Chains A and B, each alone.
Chain A
Amino acid sequence: AQKVTQAQTEISVVEKEDVTLDCVYETRDTTYYLFWYKQPPSGELVFLIRRNSFDEQNEISGRYSWNFQKSTSSFNFTITASQVVDSAVYFCALSDTGRRALTFGSGTRLQVQP
């Protein structure tokens, strides 16, 4: 069965520190998609990135980077030089053939202190 595990419930860092949010997934499929969403205090989940299972190239977008490793079934998210505005709950999600909709993890609450 498909499953997404975000073992870190809450992380607190000081501004300008680097922080990595972990995501481990389970799926029987060879074709699947992985996502990261950000949930600010306003509530709506905001899309950050998607990867398909055939593209293991890591991606960098500004201060954000993602490390996809099929060998360890992980899709980790790193924020470099964190800022207070990065404070939010971050969700990892999986899409495969087992369900009609995305399967989400429990989220990691990131607090960046000034």
Chain B
Amino acid sequence: ETGVTQTPRHLVMGMTNKKSLKCEQHLGHNAMYWYKQSAKKPLELMFVYSLEERVENNSVPSRFSPECPNSSHLFLHLHTLQPEDSALYLCASSQDLMTGKVYGYTFGSGTRLTVV
């Protein structure tokens, strides 16, 4: 499978649950990103990973915990979320950080998260 794949596509969770979002890319890219898309707000950058190392944490609350076990996989672990965390969570990748800044990213289809 090519491109960036995100699972699950939809997730409903209670505020006390623990769940994880998964992102997988088979493009040979070395940089991966998490963005949050809320209605009528700019896409918010959450985390940036380069060569499996987190290089940016954009003031994201600790209830969101990213993990990058290898260059092909990126997870977002969720714990005790709030209703305002309901959003579309998008994963993206690029060959590396600089290539991404010059040529852009390949995005997944996102996980639609609803916190109840």
Question: Do A and B bind?
Answer: yes
Interface residues of A (CB under 8 A from B): 4, 9, 33, 35, 37, 42-47, 50, 52, 91, 93, 95, 99-107
Q: Which residues of A contact B108 (CB under 8 A)?
A: 43-44
Q: Which residues of A contact B33 (CB under 8 A)?
A: 101
| Cα–Cα distance between A99 and B43 once the two chains are bound (Å) | 14
Please tell me if the beta carbons of A44 and B104 are within 8 angstroms of each other in the complex. no
The minimal Cβ–Cβ distance linking A55 to chain B, given in whole angstroms, is 13
CB contact under 8 A between A33 and B102, given known A101-B48, A105-B42, A106-B42: yes
**Beta-carbon nearest neighbor of A6 in chain B:** B42
The minimal Cβ–Cβ distance linking B2 to chain A, given in whole angstroms, is 13
Please tell me if the beta carbons of B104 and A50 are within 8 angstroms of each other in the complex. yes
Q: Which residues of A contact B4 (CB under 8 A)?
A: 44
B105 in contact (CB, < 8 A): yes
What band does the interface of chain B fall in when counting residues whose beta carbon is under 8 Å from A?
Answer: 20 to 34
CB contact under 8 A between A102 and B100, given known A43-B88, A44-B108: yes
| Cα–Cα distance between A52 and B109 once the two chains are bound (Å) | 27
The minimal Cβ–Cβ distance linking A8 to chain B, given in whole angstroms, is 11
Q: Which residues of A contact B109 (CB under 8 A)?
A: 42-44
A-B contact pairs, 18 of them (CB 8 A): A33-B102, A37-B107, A43-B9, A43-B108, A43-B109, A43-B112, A44-B4, A45-B92, A50-B102, A50-B104, A99-B56, A100-B50, A100-B56, A101-B97, A102-B105, A106-B43, A107-B42, A107-B43
| Cα–Cα distance between A102 and B58 once the two chains are bound (Å) | 12
CB contact under 8 A between A104 and B110, given known A50-B103, A95-B102: no
Interface string of B74-105 (1 = CB under 8 A from A): 00000000000000101010000100111111
| Cα–Cα distance between A34 and B100 once the two chains are bound (Å) | 12
Please tell me if the beta carbons of B40 and A95 are within 8 angstroms of each other in the complex. no
Please tell me if the beta carbons of B101 and A95 are within 8 angstroms of each other in the complex. yes
CB contact under 8 A between A104 and B43, given known A42-B109, A44-B108, A44-B109: yes
